[in-house]
Amino acid sequence: MSRIEISKVNKYYGEVHVLKDLDLVVEDGDFMTLLGPSGCGKTTTLRVIAGLEAPRSGTLRIGGQLAADGEVSFNLPPAKRGVNLVFQSYALWPHMTVFDNVAFGLQIKKAPKPLIKEKVTGALGRLHIAEFAERYPSELSGGQQQRVAIARSIVSEPRVLLLDEPLSNLDAKLRIEMRSELKRLHQELKTTVVYVTHDQVEALTMSTKIAVFFEGRLVQADTPKGIYGNPVDIRVADFIGNPKINFIGCECSRDGDTMVVDSVLGRMALGNVASRNARFGSIGVEPASCGAASILAVRPEHVHVGREPSPGAVRCRIYSALPAGSETLIQAAVNGDTIMAKVIGQAEFGQDEEAWLSLQQDKLNVYDKASGRIALGALA
């Protein structure tokens, strides 16, 4: 078992409070990504799990075993935790061949040579770099060196694999390739993975769960679908998604199980409040009450722009149309607000052309403006 339980962990660097009452559970076999802007605490969390940093308070358990307890200054050494860490810089030995780099940990443990050869060959094969076994790191590309670092981390079959922004040094094409390799590798090995990145695309495409951090606090831990479709905090909604989500000022009120929303887009009656908010209980979130100062949030792909009026549509004027090959980004002006729409394919709209704009109402989220908390979630 490799379940990770972090309970009420606080971490300080001097007087700087880096992690604040962190509660997080990584289930056995999860691919958990720690996501957030620079300085939010995600790498510190990884280092606490690895044993490179000790918490001032709170506890950490790995596979049911106590690994850290800040109250009694207990911190289990990294070598006894059954975890392996892949650094952003790869950290390969330049004077060793690829084979010897990967075999190093097993050699230190004095594993039998036939077993070392079998395990190293298997690890190199999984990462598609078996033909580079006798080369040196300087003879490899960045992507190949990254594969060596990952092969070295999995060869000893750790309970937990920790990855600290491992793809940030690669070009765009290699990053896409390595995302596929890492996801395939996780599905094959069933190892628990904790992955740190500030790249939301990496998080959304590879993870089984995502934990979003801001200013040392965990704001939401959820599936990629939940993080994208039902952000529980307006900061999460703003951070996730490209192009960015639209925020529209609104007033809202409850009428039984219906939320009535008034904005520049007119009045919308968004029913099934209980159904739309039902999933928040499973992730420990209590929705806020809505009021006169609220924010309507809608993803650009859930905005429709047409040339003919339709039920619920409002008149708009095209501010700009940006064709991007497989899609077109359209900015439309509506009563002083500018709303972004994403249309699949190449949509032909001229600047200042009159059009009609409508929203996919089951995909809307509403937030309390003062607290930033979710008041109404989108239907899955």
Interval 110-152: pLDDT, tens: 999 999 999 999 999 988 899 999 999 999 988 889 889 889 9
Name the residue among 146, 136, 159 with its Cα closest to residue 65. Answer: 159
Q: Is 152 exposed, middle or buried (0-12, 13-18, 19+ CB in 10 A)?
A: buried
Which residues lie closer than 8 Å to 110 by C-beta, 6 or more apart? Answer: none
pLDDT category at 11 given cuts 50, 70, 90 is very high
* CA nearest to 160, candidates 211, 84, 86, 87: 84
Q: Using alpha carbons only, what angle is made at residue 226 by residues 223 and 230, rounded to the nearest 5 degrees?
A: 160
- Per the CB < 8 A criterion, the answer to whether 232 and 283 are in contact is yes
The domain made up of 4-229 is a member of CATH 3.40.50.300: yes
Q: Where are the domains of the chain?
A: 4-229, 234-376
Number of H helices, E strands in the chain: 9, 22
pLDDT at residue 161 tops 90:
yes
β-sheet bridge partners, residue 55: none
Q: According to the model, what pLDDT value does residue 158 have?
A: 87
pLDDT, the chain, mean = 92
As a whole number, mean pLDDT of residues 144-164 equals 89
Q: What mean pLDDT do residues 279-308 have?
A: 92
243-282: per-residue pLDDT in tens?
A: 999 999 999 998 889 999 999 999 999 988 999 999 998 8
Closest CA to 119 of 101, 132, 106: 106
CB neighbourhood size of 88 (10 A): 16
- pLDDT tens for each residue of 218-249: 999 999 999 999 999 999 999 999 899 999 99
The residue to which tokens 């002006």 are assigned: 333
CATH 3.20.20.70 fits domain 234-376: no
Lowest mean pLDDT among 34-48, 77-91, 112-126: 77-91
CA 100 centroid distance within chain: 34
Query: Are the beta carbons of 149 and 86 closer than 8 angstroms?
Result: yes
pTM, two decimals, is: 0.92
At 217, list the tokens: 């606090």
